[in-house]
A and B are shown apart, each in its own frame.
Chain A
Amino acid sequence: MSVYLLRRLLQSVLVMLAMSVIVFVGVFAIGDPVEILISPDADQMERERAIKALGLDLPLWQQYLSFLGNALRGDLGRSFVFNEPALQLILQRMPATLELALGATFLALIIGLPLGLYAGLKPKSPVSSAIMAGSILGFSLPTFWVGLMLIMVFAVQLGWLPSTGRGPTVEVLGLHWSFLTWDGLRHLAMPALNLALFKISLVIRLTRAGVRETMLMDYVKFARAKGLSPARVTYVHVFKNIMIPVVTVVGLELGSTIAFSVVTESVFAWPGMGKLIIDSINVLDRPVIVAYLMMIVLMFITINLLVDLAYSALDPRVRLENK
């Protein structure tokens, strides 16, 4: 187990290193922040001073090495725009995004699993066909459009839910959360649902496919031959088996939800990391972009590891030996 973890850790470091090179070169290729950051009426002296202050006069490889050196000390650079440490900027906005992503995942599971289960158990019923047709819509409708429609219906016409922002937050462990107040929950509902739409469809399809496949297995028939109640067969024998692929995919999806909640955050003016990164890209705030991408890479690596561990907890056949 510890050998396994150590190996995984080493792999992670290599991935981070490779990613940092790609990210750094990529961001460098996007454009020169100088044109945006320095006011057009600045004279040549001021320009050069500013460029020097930002460290943009050095060749790329030197910039990279100094970035790497600082990164090892936990310093991912200062934002050109806010003049604050980039990492701090991101961490400030992270709870909002995490809250949104976890809310969306939660919705995807509590909506997707029952619907998928139903569609899998009763594949011929018209309700199942409706569920499957709905899931196609969930896959194919663009997030931003659905978000706008949600706002139009629930915020503008019905006036049930607020359309923007996080609402009041409660501080727990030094972080601000909005799901702990009723008003905060009302603010969270629409963006979370919007972000969850794709994942609900995914969970429905995965669950349905899993159920249909598992129902044909001998062990399900044997469970029935033992005289177990249909509920026990479905919720223990079938469900535990389909949870293996569902957990894997939903876990991996969590990473991309966090990383790509950009659209939803923009539509609902949700003050999370996604909105920060869009704003930073617009003004070519390199340190923030780089720091953000590195954070995302780290997050993916961590989630992957957690998924692997969850997987081995669910499936005894891949359980890691010598615990």
Chain B
Amino acid sequence: MAVSPVANSSVAATASAPTLEVRNLQTHFFTRAGVVKAVDGVSFTVQRGKVMGLVGESGSGKTVTGFSILGLVDEPGRIVGGEILFHGQNLAKLREEEMRRLRGNRIAMIFQDPMMTLNPVLRVDTQMIETVLAHTKVSKEEARQRARDTLGMVGIPSPDERLKSYPHQFSGGMRQRVAIAIALLHRPELIVADEPTTALDVTIQAQILAEVQKLCAQTGTAMIWITHDLTVVAGLADELAVMYAGRVVEHGPVNETLDKPLHPYTNGLIGSVPSRNKRGEPLRQIPGMTPSLLNLPAGCAFRNRCPKAQDKCKQAPPLGELLPGRQARCFFPYNMPAEAAA
């Protein structure tokens, strides 16, 4: 029973080739204190026009995964293993100049803090036009035209005037719109968005989420939405990958994963989201702290904080397909159907 849908889903995946396929990515930082395995064997795929939520606590390796995809990992960090297949082309093996031609062009990134991502001493038009000119041979006037149109598209009023402004003359939400507009200038096939709404207030956040979703659907852009906010992911993403200590511990369709999480860590994360149904109860939290990446426990990295941990967890559990279309890295998952758990 459980076998046939698995086969179907993998057939479907190969039929519509994914925009991005990350296989066993390993990005390590070689520090004086030792090797920090910030990303240690991460795999996931992102389909065209879909949004994949990449969720985890601070320091779980979400951002480094994003930077790895764009080839922006700085010293002392380095991609030491795995493949990043973008339309079948392995980005991890690309030379810097080839990677540069992809960046901002076919793969774009939006950063977390809109107050910091725009250069304070350059006007918005400079920062947009240079992005256009870095990838296409058009006149400066055409580039300006395109910059203006894109600003209008992300909902910035009177874009002609705003082009002549400096970043400090914009509010935080407007700055993030500018950053998003810059990411959209070349209609990329993939956008890596690193907590782009975390620094914004809730109403602006909702507006930007709605617009991003609309744009993705319209243009067929695939998106990786890095966040620690499960409520954002619930409304936005199609798929969900949960990271813990440099590894994906659970991967699956967003609704099923949030309704019936398999991994105890996912379960803990969902339990610690404040919600209306739990008014008056103390908020649950995951006991303990994120372990230091320099000194991970052997076996399952989560076992010291896990309510279900047993002796077996001293061996590292593999990322297995526990339910059709749903993977988790756990020996004792939650929410398994009776017959499968048996």
Binding site for B on A (CB under 8 A): 217-219, 221-230, 232, 236-237, 240-241, 244, 314-317
Q: Which residues of A contact B162 (CB under 8 A)?
A: none
Considering only residues 91-123 of chain B, those with a C-beta below 8 Å from chain A are: 100-105, 108-109, 111-113, 116-123
Verify B118–A219 contact, CB threshold 8 A: yes
Q: Which residues of A contact B70 (CB under 8 A)?
A: 225
Verify A225–B166 contact, CB threshold 8 A: no
The answer to whether the Cβ of B300 comes within 8 Å of any Cβ in the partner chain is: no
The answer to whether the Cβ of B134 comes within 8 Å of any Cβ in the partner chain is: yes
B232 to chain A: closest CB distance in Å? 21
Q: Which residues of A contact B103 (CB under 8 A)?
A: 224-227
| Residue in A222, A224, A232, A240 with the greatest tally of chain B CB atoms within 10 Å | A222
Question: Which of B112, B121, B131, B168 sits near A226, CB closer than 8 Å?
Answer: B131
Verify B134–A225 contact, CB threshold 8 A: no
Chain B binding surface SS class: mixed
Residue of chain B at shortest CB distance from A241? B121
Residue of chain A at shortest CB distance from B112? A218
Q: Which residues of B contact A315 (CB under 8 A)?
A: 120-121
Q: Which residues of B contact A217 (CB under 8 A)?
A: 116
Residue of chain B at shortest CB distance from A123? B75
| Residue in A223, A225, A227 with the greatest tally of chain B CB atoms within 10 Å | A225
The answer to whether the Cβ of B142 comes within 8 Å of any Cβ in the partner chain is: no
Verify B120–A317 contact, CB threshold 8 A: yes
The contact sample of 15 A-B pairs, CB cut-off 8 A, is: A218-B116, A218-B117, A222-B117, A226-B108, A226-B130, A227-B103, A227-B135, A228-B100, A232-B130, A236-B122, A236-B130, A237-B122, A240-B122, A241-B119, A316-B121
Q: Which residues of A contact B168 (CB under 8 A)?
A: 316-317
Q: Which residues of B contact A232 (CB under 8 A)?
A: 130, 134
| Residue in A218, A219, A236, A316 with the greatest tally of chain B CB atoms within 10 Å | A219
Verify B121–A240 contact, CB threshold 8 A: yes
CA distance A217 to B117 in the complex (A): 8
Residue of chain A at shortest CB distance from B169? A316
Verify B120–A241 contact, CB threshold 8 A: yes
The answer to whether the Cβ of B237 comes within 8 Å of any Cβ in the partner chain is: no
Q: Which residues of B contact A226 (CB under 8 A)?
A: 103-104, 108, 130-131, 134, 182
The answer to whether the Cβ of B234 comes within 8 Å of any Cβ in the partner chain is: no
Verify B134–A227 contact, CB threshold 8 A: yes
Given contacts A222-B117, A317-B166, whether A227 and B131 have CB atoms under 8 Å apart is yes
